[in-house]
Amino acid sequence: MSDSNIKVLYIDDDLARVAGTAQQLQEADRGITIRHAAIVEDAAALLRNGDIDVVLFGLQNDGTGCDDLQGLHEDWPDTPIVATGAINDMALVKRSVACGARLFIPASLKAAKVCAIMRQQAQKQA
């Protein structure tokens, strides 16, 4: 992968999922740094510093979190948001994009592909 560094803010309240995903992503691409926020309010503090290239936003299978995603997008419209969830349900995909995500990726996607998507979205922002 590219040798440039990018900073990903992973918003998800499941600490075990975050730890596992962060480890997999950093093993797949050493140039990716993962920051974590369990709630949107903590994410906002990190985003205010302007040191985040792209947001990875964890959604629940029932769409819980879409309102928070929409608020985040409204407050930081230039920051790319990629939604993720355990299921790849078309209704959830459509809802996440309608709420401000640039795209939705299933949590089962291979780490190397997720890293490539994070890099692509960060480059679109730059």
- Residue by residue, pLDDT tens for the chain (126 residues) are 445 899 999 999 999 999 999 999 999 999 999 999 999 999 999 999 888 999 999 998 777 889 999 999 999 999 999 999 988 789 999 999 999 999 999 999 999 999 999 999 999 876
Please report the pLDDT score of residue 1 as a whole number. 40
pTM: 0.92
Please report the pLDDT score of residue 4 as a whole number. 87
Please report the pLDDT score of residue 2 as a whole number. 47
Report which of 53, 90, 93 is spatially closest to residue 69, judged by C-alpha positions: 93
- Work out the end-to-end distance of the chain between its first and last CA atoms, rounded to an integer number of angstroms: 18
List CB contacts of 18: < 8 A, sequence separation 6 or more. Answer: 10, 12, 34, 36, 58
Hey, what domains does the chain have and what are their CATH numbers?
Answer: 6-125 (3.40.50.2300)
